[in-house]
Structure 1
Amino acid sequence: MTATAAPPRAAVRPPRTSVVRTELRRGAGPWAGAAVAVTLLVTMYAKAPAWQGRWTDATDMLHAATGLLAGPLTLAAGCWQGGREWRRGTPELLRSVPRGRLRRTLLAVAPSALWPTAGLFLAATVCLLATWPYVGGGRPYLELVAADAVALAALGTLGHLVGLLVRWRLTAPLLAVVGYIGLAIGSYTVSPARWLSPAAEHASPWEEPVWWFAPTSAVWTGGIALAALLAYAARPARLRLLALLPLAAAVAAAVPVLRLPADGPWRPDPEATRLVCDDGTPKVCVNALDRTLLPDISRSLAPLNERLRGLPGAPVRWVGGSSGPGAGEVELPDHMMDSARGRLRNPDLYLNSAVQWLFSDICASADVTGPRAERAAEIHLAVSEWLAPTPEDYGVPVGPAAQRHLDTLRAKSTTAQRDYLARYLTADRCRPEEVPVP
């Protein structure tokens, strides 16, 4: 028998690598993404006590850091990447492959646009995960993070195009400086045009953006970048007219932003401003966003409330957050100045501040005049120190006269102390002669 020849084995083809994946691995793109992530994370970490307790504070600060710091960095990185194409002769090499100019430019721009966006998403994920254990309510504004990602991609694209057009090695750092100045000036103007800037800062945790603001911002920044890209890369020349479409979309998106009122695209959030109270007397109430702080605040004010309970002239309740005090109410100190990660850092200092707020709205110091004004001020200092001693390393020691009144108060019995505090609370402290002496 004649042996039949075995059929030839099919040639094993190497796995086909995505062209986009190859482009993303080249140049400074990965380094730009890492630089954006590190810049944002270091900035946010340095200010963690200011945002790591509320979703709104976290997303607001991340938005400002992205615009003012990551924005210029992305511009410079994109410009460097675009200049790198010329320095290595990549455009001439790409003309030899069967790809259109627009497709070649899109592939070349991809690292400049996508890597900084990836860095932002990484930083945002870390910050939001770090905030999650400590928040009391509300939600993170993920739509604003998405709009910031579009803005970073747009800045990377514009920077890349500048690098292709301007063949000067110092263009990238100069563009970063110009970009920072432009973004900073645009974000601090008083006109509604400030909200067109990707770095516009918002600082109120009791407000939420209108639903259309984030997508409109994305169309504004993305439309400008896409129009510039088409104007540069579209071939033949008549196709460059297509750049008018995204440009028109960007202009249309800017119109409602420019017509915003003075407070911008932010509106009160009813859920965030809802009061949550304890069951003490006087009651302690905070906004729903800060409900995790309520136990600490209640414990801090417990010694003061014990002395105020049932006395005439004592407040009905303490109110904090965005809700102003009503009749019989006293405003709480700003607990976010002395809190971090859902806890009060210095309860004794907060108690001392609460006593100052208890007596702060009685009358202006300029109105307290007369021969006994100094004595009234000394008594007020003694009463405040008796109710909540100033922690060490804060304030200055009381004077000799105030110390004598303080010693007298401390030497009284509990019943005598309550009797005096009742007389002090009901006295007209704007009239020094009516302020009772301990």
Structure 2
Amino acid sequence: MSVVAGTRGPLLAEARRGFAPWAGLTVLLTLGVVLAASADRWQGGWAATVAEVHRAVLIVVPAAAAAGCRQGGRERRRGTEELWGTAVRPPSALLLVSALPTALWVAAGYAVAAAAALLATWPYAQGDGPRPALLCADAFVSGAAVLLGHVVGRLVPSRLAAPLLAMAGYVGLGMTATAHEGSGRYLNPALQVLDSWVPVWWQPPVTALWAGGLAGAAVTAYAARRRWTALLPLAAAAAAGTLLAGTGAGLWHTDPMAARQVCDTSVTPAVCVNARFARALPGIREALSGVTGKLEGVRNLPVRWEDRDGGPRGDEASLPSLTPLGRSFVRGRLTDPARFAWEGARALQLRGDCPDDAFGVADDAVGNYLAPLPARRQYFDGLDAGAGPERRAELAERRAARARLTAMGERERREWLSAYFAARAACDPKGVPAL
């Protein structure tokens, strides 16, 4: 009879009651609270959700190791070590009966929390797709941490072993997760990733093999009759670790979708968003409709608002940033469309290397016409109104320019704006017609 078959009854009993279910429930509730508190910054994109749940590994793995450590010292606390030593079953079977249910429950708690986060994102996801392989590996690593902690709990006769192990794990994972140099950091399962990063297809299973090999080696070295067999999982862990550390930054590549744009060319300038947020394009176009409507017939404009890494080209303007989620963009919607439009209009004015303040009064008048923010304007006007004579004179000049641009006829204003944007593109303040 195999070890697992011979321990099936006790395994089920341990899994149904006692510490193991509580450990899994604790992981589930902890992740639930952490993810709920940060929902605004991930519940709107698959990639952001996966990255946010993956960040929780920094908390879950040390906690899992501490749970395993506590369970490993259970018989010592109960004073039943000698009684267990007289059991007929081999030490490996006894260890599995005690450790495996906790490992499975912890992994299940993480997996359920991850699945719930993905389900919560589904109604708001914009354009990319879920990639759960990384989260599956994280769940496996959490279970492996329980087994490693269990061995520590059996070896270290101290009630402080579990909290100290959790603290050491958190500090160690945290320090290597934020390190910027050294190939060893790629062995860290809690390595922080950007939303736009995608692991190569073999990275999650190799990471699982790395953690599982270490756990298997520790368990086998502690409990197996032929302890030399620990060399087998240790060799597997060494091979996986060598592959991870040797590949380094090549473990991740930029999501191809992050380099694509989806555009609405029915307006001028065209409105383009990153393909990851394709479903948000109608709402973004609507937010900018006040700007594009006022620019109808105006020449010398940028061709489009673009939304990609690397900045705009000479004939483009930057779309106000949608990321990181949770600021201007939450659950597929703009949090402040008026400010988004103001930022979009300002992006049309800022061209190339031309200084921001080169056009002074003209910039202020155009910004006020295209996308006014009354509260912002009143605040800064109020500051100038209470300042010295020079700033009050500048305020009067700005207010007069705003009024003249607004009072122009449509044809005259189109010609003026066309000349303004031509001068802006050439960074030639003298080319702006007087107001």
Q: TM-score, normalised by structure 1?
A: 0.87
CA distance in 2, matches of 1:261, 1:221: 17
The residue that corresponds to 1:3 in the other structure is none
The residue that corresponds to 2:240 in the other structure is 253
CA distance in 2, matches of 1:413, 1:86: 89
Bigger shift: 30-39 or 221-230? 30-39
Task: Kindly state the Cα deviation for residue 310 of structure 1 after the two structures are TM-superposed.
Answer: 3.4
Is 1:389 equivalent to 2:372 in the alignment?
yes
Q: Tell me if the contact between 1:335 and 1:350 (Cα under 8 Å) persists in the aligned partners.
A: no
CA distance in 2, matches of 1:338, 1:144: 28
1:72 alignment partner, one of 62, 74, 77: 62
Distance 1:104 1:391, change over 3 A: farther
Residue type matched to 1:176 in 2? Answer: A
The residue that corresponds to 2:188 in the other structure is 197
Residue type matched to 1:18 in 2? Answer: G
Structure 1 regions of 5+ residues with no counterpart? 1-15
Counting aligned pairs with the same residue, the percent is: 40
CA distance in 2, matches of 1:420, 1:364: 20
Distance 1:216 1:391, change over 3 A: farther
Distance 1:36 1:381, change over 3 A: same
- Give the paired residue count: 410
The residue that corresponds to 1:181 in the other structure is 171
Q: Tell me if the contact between 1:79 and 1:172 (Cα under 8 Å) persists in the aligned partners.
A: yes
The residue that corresponds to 2:390 in the other structure is none
Q: Tell me if the contact between 1:287 and 1:322 (Cα under 8 Å) persists in the aligned partners.
A: no
Is 1:155 equivalent to 2:145 in the alignment?
yes
Is 1:340 equivalent to 2:340 in the alignment?
no
CA distance in 2, matches of 1:212, 1:280: 42
Task: Kindly state the Cα deviation for residue 396 of structure 1 after the two structures are TM-superposed.
Answer: 3.8
Distance 1:436 1:394, change over 3 A: closer
The residue that corresponds to 2:256 in the other structure is 270
Q: Tell me if the contact between 2:14 and 2:101 (Cα under 8 Å) persists in the aligned partners.
A: yes
Give the aligned CA root-mean-square deviation in angstroms: 2.3
CA distance in 2, matches of 1:113, 1:272: 36
Is 1:143 equivalent to 2:133 in the alignment?
yes
The residue that corresponds to 1:380 in the other structure is 363
Distance 1:106 1:268, change over 3 A: same
The residue that corresponds to 1:108 in the other structure is 98
Distance 1:250 1:346, change over 3 A: same
The residue that corresponds to 1:436 in the other structure is 433
The residue that corresponds to 1:42 in the other structure is 33
Task: Kindly state the Cα deviation for residue 89 of structure 1 after the two structures are TM-superposed.
Answer: 2.8
Task: Kindly state the Cα deviation for residue 331 of structure 1 after the two structures are TM-superposed.
Answer: 1.9
The structure whose Rg is larger is 1
CA distance in 2, matches of 1:214, 1:228: 21
Task: Kindly state the Cα deviation for residue 323 of structure 1 after the two structures are TM-superposed.
Answer: 7.2
Is 1:57 equivalent to 2:48 in the alignment?
yes
Task: Kindly state the Cα deviation for residue 358 of structure 1 after the two structures are TM-superposed.
Answer: 1.8
The residue that corresponds to 1:5 in the other structure is none
Structure 2 regions of 5+ residues with no counterpart? 1-6, 385-394
> What are the superposed Cα offsets for residues 5-27 of structure 1, whole Å, 9 maximum, x if unpaired?
xxxxxxxxxxx983211112444
Is 1:424 equivalent to 2:407 in the alignment?
no
Q: Tell me if the contact between 1:134 and 1:292 (Cα under 8 Å) persists in the aligned partners.
A: no
1:33 alignment partner, one of 15, 18, 24: 24
Distance 1:325 1:64, change over 3 A: same
Q: Tell me if the contact between 1:39 and 1:69 (Cα under 8 Å) persists in the aligned partners.
A: no
**Runs of 4 or more above 4 Å deviation:** none
Q: Tell me if the contact between 2:27 and 2:109 (Cα under 8 Å) persists in the aligned partners.
A: yes
Q: Tell me if the contact between 1:52 and 1:130 (Cα under 8 Å) persists in the aligned partners.
A: yes
Written as runs of structure 1 = structure 2, the 5 A alignment for 1:334-373 is 334-336=321-323, 337-365=327-355
